[in-house]
Structure 1
Amino acid sequence: MPRQHHFIDVDGCRIHVVDEGTGPAVLLCHGFPEYWRSWRKQIPILVGAGYRVLAFDMRGHGQSDAPGSVEDYSVAHTVGDVIATMDALAIERAVIVGHDAGTTTAYHAALMRPDRIRGVFGLSVPYIPRGEMSLIRALRGAVPPAFYMIYFQEPGIAEADLEADPREALRRLFFANSGAYEGAPIMMMAAPGGGLVETLPAPAGAMEFMSDQELDAYAEQYGRTGFRGGLNGYRVFERNWEITAPWRGARLPVPAAYIGGNADTVLGFPGFRAAAEQMGDATFVDGAGHWIQAERPDLVNEALLRFLATCPV
């Protein structure tokens, strides 16, 4: 099936999804600050291997709507977007893939709707069962207030910082969190009394894993939408913790696998590497950072296809 662009109405929120190929369905959920083209190096490989690929613009990103209320970005809403899209396109079951913030949706889709999800594949962020407190409460007692996840909490501050020059903000975020930066992994902190972007290193030239043309496309998207939708995903940590009370300590009920870069800051968070190792087929890639599907698409595609072959149709 040639590439199609669908716009699915989910309780008044329009969700954009790219649909290509035929065969068992694979759902792709990007992270922040990205949009559906995060998967540009996976889509043709998956289609060529006989899969139907649906790459989402998660709510608040790309061509999907960006609701005004922070609570509209909860995991209940994003999992609802996935299930409603499957219903609209007559997809009974699928494997779901998530990167970065998209893993929250992917893992909870598997937890909440194992009747619809055949397997889950995570990139960068492993599955961590719900604990005694929300991530944001745990962070507030463990890291400085300048830590990026805390810096992102107050509406308007990070938006102004990132939107002053979207292309430069994206360029620095991508480079600083990639394996191409010799100082990786880094712990992103806002400047005292200042912003985050100014503290991030800038590449000397074009980035090997992201062409200037691709960066321009990202900048065009975020120049149009702003960053608030993506940032709101960080502002629902407490709400997500409340919503997921029934799944406290739950294991993933479907087959799972993981791939991450050893230069990714995420794997340095306490307990995250051990959690990744418990996700069945776990792969750790030397020299790769946070954007592993762009930095090492060969290894990501190999691991993903290997996992898909094990998932019952």
Structure 2
Amino acid sequence: MEGITHRTVAVNGINMHIAEKGEGPMVLFVHGFPELWYSWRHQMVALAGRGYRAVAPDLRGYGDTDAPPSATDYTIFHLVGDLVALLDALALDQVFVVGHDWGAVVAWWLCMLRPDRVRALVNMSVAFSPRNPARRPVDSLRALFGDDHYICRFQEPGAVEAEFARISTALLLKKFLAYRKPEALLVSKEKGFGGSPDTEITLPSWLTEEDVNYYTSKFEKSGFTGGLNYYRCLNLNWELTAPWTGVQIKVPVKFIVGDLDLTYHTPGIQDYLHKGGFKRDVPFLHDVVVMQGVGHFLNQEKPHEISDHIYEFIQKF
């Protein structure tokens, strides 16, 4: 679309598909679950038009990028390593980074492990989560929400994939992309993720059938296991990252979240964002933007506003 080009780059032992547009300082866009480079299509066009080189990969396990078979091939060190190797392959020492959802998690860790490679960060939806040395993350979620929380349900290899296989990929993606209600986070084994195969999902105004068809074509090829493995490494990541307990994020940061995003209503998160905890852990935090009437997929729901937020911030550096 609109002059975006595509190629494959060898990085960190895998072949990574990247989409590119524009010339100038590079902005690296990092997508979440269940998404692709395509989630950044609007921002890529907007930033390229303002003098930047926009690069958006399909992350490991997604789309046209390789999907290693083992769940342990998806630790945070693999994911950050892929991005660092991509910058090396592109011969770039330092770039602007924009992340959303799981892409935000990966971007936080990129900034923690290799702050020398990041000029500034715009992250969305998922705030920085300092490592809790007392409890593993999946255990914490189970204690808060019970076994029916979607991340807890994702843990058993093969089980969720079997549920997903019982309904159409298009319906499943519509369900994920259109969710807004808190009960969407709680999915019992009896209820299942897809609901009835006859379920009608009304698309939000920002998502077209053409968009869904593109996502569907890629997930029908790659499956969901790669993306699910990110969640299956949460406790392993907790073990592996013990040496970084208490380390701050020391790059310039702007954080954006929608007030209807379920992540913004996680217990304690609003106090953390607005009462000093976030600023303590991210000392070069410049701004926290809460967009009114906006849900989780804010970069697609409000593409022009998000593009403006990104540009307004990165052009300072």
TM-score by length of 1: 0.92
- Give the equivalent residue in structure 2 for 1:310: 316
Give the alignment of 1:85-100 within 5 angstroms.
85-100=86-101
1:199/1:243 CA distance change after superposition, 3 Å = farther
Is the counterpart of residue 245 in structure 1 residue 242 in structure 2?
Answer: yes
Q: Distance in 2 between matches of 1:204 and 1:234?
A: 26
Q: Distance in 2 between matches of 1:243 and 1:218?
A: 32
Deviation at 1:140, TM superposition (A): 2.0
- Give the equivalent residue in structure 2 for 1:175: 178
- Give the equivalent residue in structure 1 for 2:289: 283
- Give the equivalent residue in structure 2 for 1:301: 307
1:134/1:310 CA distance change after superposition, 3 Å = farther
Of residues 143, 146, 169, the one that matches 2:145 is 143
Deviation at 1:240, TM superposition (A): 1.2
Deviation at 1:67, TM superposition (A): 0.5
- Give the residue type in structure 2 aligned to 1:271: G
Does 189-198 or 253-262 show the bigger shift? 189-198
- Give the residue type in structure 1 aligned to 2:316: T
1:242/1:288 CA distance change after superposition, 3 Å = same
**Does structure 2 conserve the Cα–Cα contact (< 8 Å) formed by 1:127 and 1:275?**
no
Give the alignment of 1:111-126 within 5 angstroms.
111-126=112-127
Q: Distance in 2 between matches of 1:89 and 1:255?
A: 23
The CA RMSD over aligned residues, in Å, is: 1.9
1:187/1:212 CA distance change after superposition, 3 Å = closer
- Give the equivalent residue in structure 2 for 1:30: 31
1:146/1:206 CA distance change after superposition, 3 Å = closer
* Per-residue CA distance 1:86-130 (angstroms, 9 max, x = gap): 111111100111110111210111111111111121111011221
1:42/1:174 CA distance change after superposition, 3 Å = same
**Does structure 2 conserve the Cα–Cα contact (< 8 Å) formed by 1:185 and 1:264?**
no
Q: Distance in 2 between matches of 1:249 and 1:161?
A: 38
- Give the residue type in structure 1 aligned to 2:309: A
**Does structure 2 conserve the Cα–Cα contact (< 8 Å) formed by 1:187 and 1:265?**
no
Unaligned runs of 5+ in 2: 279-284
- Give the equivalent residue in structure 2 for 1:181: none
Between Structure 1 and Structure 2, how many residues are aligned?
A: 304
Q: Distance in 1 between matches of 2:150 and 2:163?
A: 12
Amino-acid identity (%): 34
- Give the equivalent residue in structure 2 for 1:219: 216
Of residues 256, 260, 264, the one that matches 1:259 is 256
**Does structure 1 conserve the Cα–Cα contact (< 8 Å) formed by 2:174 and 2:201?**
no
* Per-residue CA distance 1:161-202 (angstroms, 9 max, x = gap): 22331100011111123xxxxxx3444222343412218996
1:259/1:153 CA distance change after superposition, 3 Å = same
Q: Distance in 1 between matches of 2:309 and 2:259?
A: 16
- Give the residue type in structure 1 aligned to 2:171: E
Deviation at 1:239, TM superposition (A): 1.4
* Per-residue CA distance 1:271-313 (angstroms, 9 max, x = gap): 32344443431111111111000111122112111111223xx
* Per-residue CA distance 1:249-272 (angstroms, 9 max, x = gap): 222110011111111111111232
Q: Distance in 2 between matches of 1:105 and 1:91?
A: 19
After TM superposition, what 4+ stretches of structure 1 lie above 4 angstroms from structure 2?
A: 199-204
Q: Distance in 2 between matches of 1:109 and 1:305?
A: 21
- Give the residue type in structure 2 aligned to 1:157: A
- Give the equivalent residue in structure 1 for 2:281: none
Q: Distance in 1 between matches of 2:154 and 2:92?
A: 35
**Does structure 2 conserve the Cα–Cα contact (< 8 Å) formed by 1:79 and 1:105?**
yes
- Residue aligned with 1:195, SS: coil
Deviation at 1:207, TM superposition (A): 2.7
Q: Distance in 2 between matches of 1:22 and 1:249?
A: 37
- Give the residue type in structure 2 aligned to 1:297: P
- Residue aligned with 1:287, SS: coil
1:54/1:289 CA distance change after superposition, 3 Å = same
- Residue aligned with 1:197, SS: coil
